[in-house]
Amino acid sequence: MSEMTAAHAQGAATAQIRESYMAQTRRKRLYGTMMLVVFVALMASGFMTAEARNAGGFWGGLHQIGDFPAALLSEAGEKLSELPANLVTYFPALVETINIAAVSTLIGGVGGILLSMLATRGLALWPRMIPVWRRLMDVMRAVPEIVIALVLIFVLGGGPVPAMIAIAFHTVGALGKLFSEVNENASLKPVEGLASVGANWSQRMILGVMPSVAPNYLSYALLRFEINIRASAILGFVGAGGIGYELKNAMAWGIGRYDEAAAIFLLLFVTIVAFDQLGSHLRDRLTHGRKEELLA
Amino acid sequence: MTMAADIRTADLKAGAERLFRTKRLTAIALPLLVLAYLAYAAVAFDVPGLLGRANLENGARLISDTYSYKTHVERDNRSGVVSYAIEGERKGEYPEGMTPQWVSVAGGVTTVHLPMGHEVRYYADHVEYDVPDYGTIRATPGNGGVNASFPPGDLPDYISASKNRVMVTTEAGRVTITRNRTEVFRYSWGWELFFFTLDSPYHGLAPGVLLGRALNGEAGAIWHDFWYNPMWHHADVAWALFETVLMAFLGTFGAALVALPLAFLAARNFTPLMLVRQLFRRIFDLCRGVDALIWTIVLARAFGPGPMTGALAILLTDTGSFGKMFSEALENVDEKQIEGIRSTGARPVQRYRFGVIPQVTPVLLSQVLYFFESNTRSATVIGAITGGGIGLLLTQAMITQKDWEEVTYYILLVVLMVFAMDAFSSWLRRRLIKGDAGGH
């Protein structure tokens, strides 16, 4: 008798669980549908707004999308013999673009290391200043490069240096944040050991923290370098030297000189892909190579 | 036995010393290499030449313009009419009969009070400028140019006088006298006419008074005068900000929608066919490798300038990035869940929906939201190239080279916008991913 009531009660409990599970599922499905509807509505209205604000519409322009690349390619094809000469002409500009990216990554990396150490709990020189440095990194990250570049072009005149400073400024903020995340996972024991023998702050950081975090730093810096190559090409387009500037000029020449634009496109594309592949290979070595060494 | 141990110790010691030597060498060589590279870059970038060309005056003007503005008091020396205009712009002109507080008109004499005791007086036929600790400069513009007399002694540096033009630039302001007109610049703090222009009835009212009027049913009119302020164009700026966010939104989420199905075709565990997989991977590489800059230029030819072009450029670049990242995430899914779903007799679509999507959603979503935030910044740059959004306003304001207070305003807005997007995307990430983790 008592067994039967127990089974009955259990059945009721199961039914209740089932009921509440179904209710939860229904609620979740409702939320999911609602979010989907909101998202679709946002996308559709956003598309229509952008469509209305654009000079040429999406549907009107869709069939022309191949026109410019076709013109570019056919002209480049006609003047194929001049391609090597064009590549040689624009190679120095490409080197300048890469130099801008490399110098700004170096300077930004050093600044990022310094700021990240100042902004990590346990490592900071002045613990009370941590929020200040964090905010500073946020602001440096938030200011788009183009803003600084344009202001500096006004003061310093056109050329690679404004772009370099602008990208370095942004890089300090971006790398600083990533580096401080790495620092949080670094062991504090070497730092304490060095502190116990009377090392000052910079010695503690360079000898105690740097060796353990250097591979991660390097990996992030390489990734940033790839991003900075793209950024320096774009900044060239607004007047800061390098291959972007040449591209702008070549585009302004218009039909008849598209072979030069095609050569620049080619250079830029090959560079980006090459550094992308090289960077991902090196990063792979940095993060996984060490593990294999340890296991071996 | 001891011999062998000794040999091993000696070997180890030699090895350790070699390691130390290499390390010591790299410790010196690496910074030297970096320094050498920086030195090369300094030469390649022509830094000395740049320092020579740098226009520090531009910089000083830029900085002073960001926190101050000037009001022009101009007297036409032929007709004798005095006009007042902020920044000398038509839109900033004082209406007829209205003068700034620091100007007094009495008996045909217009007196301009400048800070620090400086005073300029316009008489009917001549101008007097009292400079404390120096004396009174008196100038009579006439047919033969400007006839000026100065206190005895050498002319100070801040006065430049010629037959046709007298210019006095002090900390208090600037006075220029030529045959045709006399002009005083008076500098003031702040951003001029930020809320209301001079022709609005609400100009110069205290916030309390404004609030009172707003409560009395004038809120609409007050808002209208502020929102359509002809100097600062608040409505247009707000729209430009929205357009920038729109570009980032359409580009990022559009790319995610395109990349998701394609990522299945590029993932090893979902597409066993090597050819298809390689084809889609190469497509992703191509999209990523052709930079947003090139996409923008190519697309602007087809779609013309505007936010749609920018959105599509972001969409194409990010389809490449998302495709790569999504397919990597898909390759890392746990097969056990899919197997479990399969054991219930689910069809492939159902297996994807209930076995794969719940696993990868948090990863994908957080990546998409990170990109959304960073694309808000990219959209500013792309807007400057393709002509849309706040990037366009920014470059336009910079090209005029005088509205630096507007440039400062836009920069502030861009930074605030990026902050807001950052906060929003991390809030959404926390909400959605936590909700997902709890649900499954």
Cβ pair A273:B289 closer than 8 A:
yes
What is the pLDDT, as a whole number, of residue A37?
Answer: 92
β-pair partners for B383: none
Q: Using the Cα atoms of residue B175, residue B176, residue B182 and residue B188 in order, give the sign of their dihedral.
A: negative
CB contact under 8 A, B384 and A146: yes
β-strands B103-106, B127-131 pairing: unpaired
Inter-chain touch B419–A69, beta carbons under 8 Å: no
Give the model's confidence band at A4: pLDDT under 50 very low, under 70 low, under 90 confident, else very high. low
What Å distances lie between residue B32 and B26, B36, B39, B341, CA to CA? 9, 6, 10, 60
| Chain B 44-103, residues with CB within 8 Å of chain A CB atoms | 44-47, 50, 53-56, 58-59, 62
Residue B4: the pLDDT is 64
Q: What percent of chain A has pLDDT over 70?
A: 95
Q: Tell me the C-alpha distance between A57 and A79, whole Å.
A: 33
The answer to whether the beta carbons of residues B394 and B410 sit under 8 Å apart is yes
- What per-residue confidence (pLDDT) applies to A258? 80
Q: Which residue has the higher pLDDT, A105 or B8?
A: A105
According to the model, what pLDDT value does residue A176 have? 93
Q: Is B316 on the interface with A (CB under 8 A)?
A: no
Sheet holding B181-189, edge to edge: B82-86, B68-76, B181-189, B173-178, B165-170, B159-161
The C-alpha atoms of residue B379 and residue A39 are separated, in whole angstroms, by: 20
Predicted ipTM > 0.95: no
Which chain B residues are within 8 Å of A64, Cβ to Cβ? 301-302
* Long-range contacts of the stretch A117-125 (C-beta < 8 A, 24+): A117/A179, A117/A180, A117/A183, A117/A205, A117/A209, A119/A176, A119/A180, A120/A180, A120/A183, A120/A184, A121/A184, A122/A188, A122/A191, A123/A183, A123/A186, A123/A188, A123/A191, A123/A205, A123/A209, A125/A201
**Summary mean pLDDT of chain B:** 82
Please spell the DSSP secondary structure of A218-238, one letter per residue: HHHHHHHHHHHHHHHHHHHHT
- The pLDDT value recorded for residue A221 is 92
* Whether B291 and A143 lie within 8 Å, measured CB to CB: no
pLDDT tens digits along A220-267: 999 899 989 988 988 888 777 888 888 888 887 776 778 888 888 888
Residue A167 has a pLDDT of 94
Please give the torsion angle defined by the CA atoms of residues B55, B58, B63 and B64, in that order, rounded to the nearest 10 degrees. 130
Closest in B250, B294, B398 to A46, CB measured: B250
* Residue B300: pLDDT over 70: yes
Cα B168 to chain centroid, rounded? 35
Burial B111-137 (b: 16+ CB within 10 A, else e): ebebeeebebbbeeebbebebeebeeb
Ranking B180-184, B198-202, B234-238, B311-315 by mean pLDDT, the lowest is: B198-202
A16 close contact with B: CB closer than 8 A? no
Least confident range from A236-240, B240-244, B414-418: namely A236-240
Q: pLDDT tens digits, residue range B123-166?
A: 878 888 888 888 888 888 877 777 778 888 777 878 888 888 88
pLDDT of residue B440: 37
CA distance B149 to chain A (A): 37
Backbone angles phi, psi at A55, to 5 degrees: -65, -50
pLDDT at B437: 43
Collapsed DSSP state (helix, strand, coil) of residue A257: coil
Tell me how close the Cα of B133 comes to any Cα of chain A, in angstroms. 35
Q: In A143-257, which ranges are continuous DSSP H helix?
A: 145-156, 160-184, 189-196, 201-203, 210-237, 243-253
- pLDDT recorded at residue A194: 92
Query: Which H, E and C letters describe chain B, residue by residue?
Result: CHHHHHHHHHHHHHHHHHHHHHHHHHHHHHHHHHHHHHHHHHHHCCHHHHHHHCCHHHHHHHHHHHHEEEEEEEEECCCCCEEEEECCCHHHECCCCCCCCCEEEECCEEEEECHHHCEEEECCCCEEEEECCCEEEEEEEECCEEEEECCCCCCCCCEEECCCEEEEEECCEEEEEECCEEEEEEEEECCCCCCCCCCCCCCCCCHHHHHHHHHHHHHHHHHHHHHCCCCCCHHHHHHHHHHHHHHHHHHHHHHHHHHHHHHHHHCCCCCCCHHHHHHHHHHHHHHHHCCHHHHHHHHHHHHCCCHHHHHHHHHHHHHHHHHHHHHHHHHCCCHHHHHHHHHCCCCHHHHHHHHHHHHHHHHHHHHHHHHHHHHHHHHHHHHHHHCCHHHHHHHHHHHHCCCHHHHHHHHHHHHHHHHHHHHHHHHHHHHHHHHHHHHC
- Please report residues of A whose CB lies closer than 8 A to that of B380: 144, 146-147
Residue A103 has its nearest CB partner, among B38, B292, B407, at B38
Q: Determine the pLDDT at residue A114.
A: 93
- What percent of chain B shows pLDDT beyond 70? 96
> What does the angle CA B183 – CA B189 – CA B193 come to, to the nearest 5 degrees?
80
The reply to whether residue B308 touches residue A273, judged by beta carbons under 8 angstroms, is no
Of A103-112, B134-143, B171-180, B217-226, highest mean pLDDT: A103-112
Q: What is the pLDDT of residues A8-52, one digit of tens each?
A: 778 888 889 999 999 998 998 898 889 889 989 988 888 888 888
- Highest mean pLDDT: which of A154-158, B68-72, B196-200, B326-330? B326-330
| Sign of the alpha-carbon dihedral angle for A117, A119, A121, A125 | positive
Query: Which residues of chain A lie closer than 8 angstroms to B35, CB-CB?
Result: none
Task: Using the predicted structure, report yes or no on whether residue B439 has a pLDDT greater than 60.
Answer: no
pLDDT tens digits for range B356-366: 888 888 888 88
What is the average per-residue pLDDT within A60-72?
78
Instruction: Quote the radius of gyration of chain A (alpha carbons, Å).
Output: 28
pLDDT confidence of B438, banded at 50, 70, 90? very low
Pairing type for strands B145-149 and B159-161 reads unpaired
Q: CA torsion angle for B379, B384, B388, B390 (degrees, to 10)?
A: 70
With H, G, I as helix, E, B as strand and everything else as coil, classify residue A261.
Answer: helix
In angstroms, what separates the C-alpha of A2 from chain B's closest C-alpha?
37
Q: Is A150 on the interface with B (CB under 8 A)?
A: yes
Contacts of B291 in chain A (CB under 8 A): 230, 233-234, 268-269, 272
Confidence of residue A296 (pLDDT cuts 50, 70, 90): very low
Whether the per-residue pLDDT at B436 is higher than 50: the answer is no
How are beta strands B135-142 and B127-131 bridged, if at all? antiparallel
- What are A172-189's pLDDT values in tens digits? 999 998 999 889 888 889
Which of A110-119, A254-263, B85-94, B329-338 has the weakest average pLDDT?
B85-94
Cβ–Cβ of A268/B37 closer than 8 Å? no
Judge contact between A81 and B316, C-beta under 8 A.
Answer: no
Q: What average pLDDT score do residues B185-191 get?
A: 78
Helix (H) or strand (E) holding A262: helix A258-284
Cα–Cα distances (Å) from B306 to A64, A118, B214, B387, B411, in that order, read: 16, 43, 37, 6, 21
In terms of pLDDT, which residue wins out, A129 or B169?
Answer: A129
The separation between the first and the last C-alpha atoms of chain A, rounded to the nearest angstrom, is: 67
Q: A11: how many CB neighbours lie within 10 A of its CB?
A: 10
- By percentage, how much of chain A surpasses pLDDT 90? 24
Please give the pLDDT value at position B42: 86
Nearest CA in chain B to A271: B289
Scanning A54-83 for CB atoms below 8 A from B yields 54-58, 61-62, 64-65, 67-69
- Residues of B numbered 359-378 whose beta carbons fall under 8 angstroms of chain A's beta carbons: which are they? 377
State whether residue A157 sits within 8 Å of chain B by CB. Answer: yes
Rounded CA-CA distance A149/A138 in Å is: 19
Note the pLDDT of residue B2: 59
Identify the bridge partners of residue B130 per DSSP, sorted by sequence position: B119, B136
Closest C-alpha to A96, from A158, A173, A169, A174:
A158
pLDDT for B248 equals: 92
For the record, the structure tokens of B241 come out as 């900000």
Q: Is B285 on the interface with A (CB under 8 A)?
A: yes
On whether the CB atoms of residues B76 and B133 are closer than 8 A, the answer is no
Gyration radius from chain B CA atoms: 34
Instruction: Please write the tens of the pLDDT for every residue from B397-412.
Output: 887 776 788 888 888 8
* Closest to A141 measured CA to CA, from A183, A175, A114, A164: A175
Residue A170 pLDDT level (bands cut at 50, 70, 90): very high
